[in-house]
Homo-oligomer: A and B are copies of this chain.
Amino acid sequence: MTDFGEDDFFVASLKGVIAKINPSARVIDITHRLPSFNIKVGSFVLVSSYKYFPSRTVFLVVVDPGVGTSRKILIAETDNYFFVAPNNGVLSLALEEEGIKQLREVSNQNYFLPELSRTFEGRDKMAPVAAWLSRGISCEEFGPEMTSYKKFTAEKPQIKRNEIIGRILYIDKFGNLITNIPEGMIELIQKKTGKKELSLTIEDKEITSFEQSYSSVKKGELLFLVGSVGLIEIAAKESSAAQKLKIKNGDKVKIIVRSQE
């Protein structure tokens, strides 16, 4: 996963480097279309997909605004996976979920390309390290242990009595608005208050259709539902909720739990 886009020679260089070191490595693209330098979006896309991959997968994550500076390169070994990335927070959400077995600072030049640039450490350092990891070289080989890694704290929704105040976390290709409100939070309030009926408010617009699938309303109509990563999502049937509501990432959203009328 990178923010390199697909127009240039950047992704191909990584894959060439990997194929040279481990010809039998199977490389799967998560995405290369992350917004440039956007660590939070990268972290969200990673956490939404990594757990579907086979155990022992090596995740190479290059969103690297600090390339060429003293920011470190990190290997994280978890119960199930390996992650290689700049130590800038891009692994925050995934590592929060996974049990960390060890963290290593990548520094052993034996596993880098022989010629190093200052502007493309994804190619020169991280891709070769990921390839060597996939060949079974143990984490210890790559550099000294680290006791912590850089992380950002994801903003959690706030609960006030029967209301949840959250935010739009991610807008997908279909224009679905993924919020930071987990499904379980609604159930919790429903249990606590004994109330069942839900409505959602975003930008002065109230949506009352809380449904199980995108198709439970009329074409073009707005609804909200539990999305595929367990978060509440606002959608419009066969249409773009983002366009209809003119919403951007980070905008506020409120869910109210009421008695059934």
Write the residues of chain A forming the contact surface with B, with a CB cutoff of 8 angstroms: 1, 4-13, 15-17, 19-20, 23, 26-34, 36-37, 45-46, 48-54, 57, 65-69, 117-120, 123, 172-174, 212-216, 225-229, 233, 238
Contacts and interface: CB of A to CB of B under 8 A. Distances in A.
Contacts of A15: 28
Task: Give the top 7 A-B pairs by smallest Cβ distance, nearest first.
Answer: A68-B213, A120-B228, A5-B173, A16-B52, A9-B49, A16-B53, A12-B30
Nearest to A65: B238
Contacts of A30: 9, 12
A20 B54 contact: yes
Give the most central of A8, A11, A28, A57: most B CB within 10 Å. A8
Copies of this polypeptide in the complex: 3
A212 B33 contact: no
19 contacts: A6-B29, A7-B31, A8-B45, A9-B31, A9-B48, A9-B49, A11-B29, A12-B49, A13-B228, A16-B57, A19-B26, A20-B53, A36-B173, A68-B212, A69-B215, A117-B226, A117-B228, A119-B214, A120-B228
Given A19-B53, A49-B13, A213 B7 contact: no
A16 B49 contact: yes
